[in-house]
Structure 1
Amino acid sequence: MSDETGKATIALKLRDSSQLFNTLDPFPFREGDLAADAEDYIVEWAGELPKDEPIAIVIHLQEPDAAGKPAPDLATAIRNWFADKARAETRALRELFRDGRLAFAIGFAVLAFCLFMSWLLTQGREGPFIRIFQESFIIVGWVVIWRPAEMFLYDWLPILRRRRLYRRLAQARVEVRAGPRG
């Protein structure tokens, strides 16, 4: 969605600021969890926006917060939430590569063992059953190495894409407008 100036903008129309947060979360707003629906909405729209433009989030509050109740700092809460999500994706990426290295070492060892056993057990023997036995060892060895290869080739891309999106949302300009939206 774009605003009247053509900038990449996500607009939320809320009754009050409490709709933005998880009502079961005991923490104050600044450290509270965004409601799952609000997060999904923001992330889904942000994914549709141009990748090279900064994001603006405009929150239209129909009713101001109750008197005597401290008004939450929505901009800080949203930016902190998505900065935490970006850090979590960075940790997930690190863990994926650490697990991938371990899986690759195990897979490579099993592949080498299977290839060696295939060679050793079929040395000097011929026939269709020997050939099936030999090929079975080779297939098992390659299947074992498949998952580590998949981790290094493909699994990191969605994590990197989410982290990039969360970082953009953590840097978003957040504007809160009170009163009914026209």
Structure 2
Amino acid sequence: MNSQNTSIEAIPANSSIIKVRLQELNKLFDLMDPAPPYKQDLHPNVAEHIVESARELPAKALLALVLHVDQAAPLARSDHAVSDATRAYFAHRSTQVQRKLRLHLRRGVISLIIGLAFLATTLTTSQLLGVGGFATTLRHSLEIGGWVALWRPMEMFLYDWWPILGDKILYRRLARMPVQIKYSANNR
């Protein structure tokens, strides 16, 4: 700690700063989490605030987190441990989102195989139907149903994975950001 009641972790001058005010540093963490202090999750409200604040900043901006702490309550970890735990939390979230993306793409492949098999079946069945009023209507209905079966796999591969990838990139950025703790002047 330096004389200005600030942790010593440096923040680059060109960083976009995310600010969080806490009554005491313990409120940063989810106290219901039974994990050891260095692996404890951030409090859900704090984590959401940090993530949403980061989303509002430019995608290429360097991020930094400044924690303004009003009371210096006893804490079982050092300021560096708090910084490391904060970054570890977002690194873990990035890993979780990476798994979610892999699972999503795997489900997309399975859905595509099922959709293509269904399309092949409906097209083959529609070719076996005779010609006539009801047969033509049934043939067209089967063909449309077969093509509609590909809707969800195409949606998964064309659109649904982008937000997941965006979250992964955001969490990686948050996992690299410096964390600075500033205590009120009358503390420490």
User: Given the two structures, how large is their TM-score scaled by the length of structure 1?
Assistant: 0.89
Deviation at 1:150, TM superposition (A): 0.8
Deviation at 1:6, TM superposition (A): 6.0
Pick from 160, 177, 181: which aligns with 1:176? 181
- Contact between 2:14 and 2:62, CA under 8 Å: does it hold in 1? no
Q: Distance in 1 between matches of 2:95 and 2:34?
A: 22
The aligned counterpart of 1:10 is: 18
Deviation at 1:30, TM superposition (A): 1.3
Whether 2:95 is the aligned partner of 1:87: answer yes
CA RMSD between the two structures? 1.7
Q: Which runs of 4+ in 1 moved over 3 A?
A: none
Q: Distance in 2 between matches of 1:6 and 1:88?
A: 29
For structure 1, the residue ranges without an aligned partner over 5 or more in a row are none
- Contact between 1:14 and 1:61, CA under 8 Å: does it hold in 2? yes
The aligned counterpart of 1:142 is: 147
Amino acid at match of 2:93: K
Deviations 1:143-166 (A, max 9, x none): 211111111111110000000100
Q: Distance in 1 between matches of 2:15 and 2:156?
A: 36
The aligned counterpart of 1:116 is: 124
Identity value in percent: 37
The aligned counterpart of 1:166 is: 171
Deviations 1:110-147 (A, max 9, x none): 1010011011113xx122x2221011101211121111
Deviations 1:27-65 (A, max 9, x none): 232100111100110000000111112100000111113
Q: Distance in 1 between matches of 2:14 and 2:84?
A: 24
For structure 2, the residue ranges without an aligned partner over 5 or more in a row are 1-10
- Contact between 2:21 and 2:69, CA under 8 Å: does it hold in 1? yes
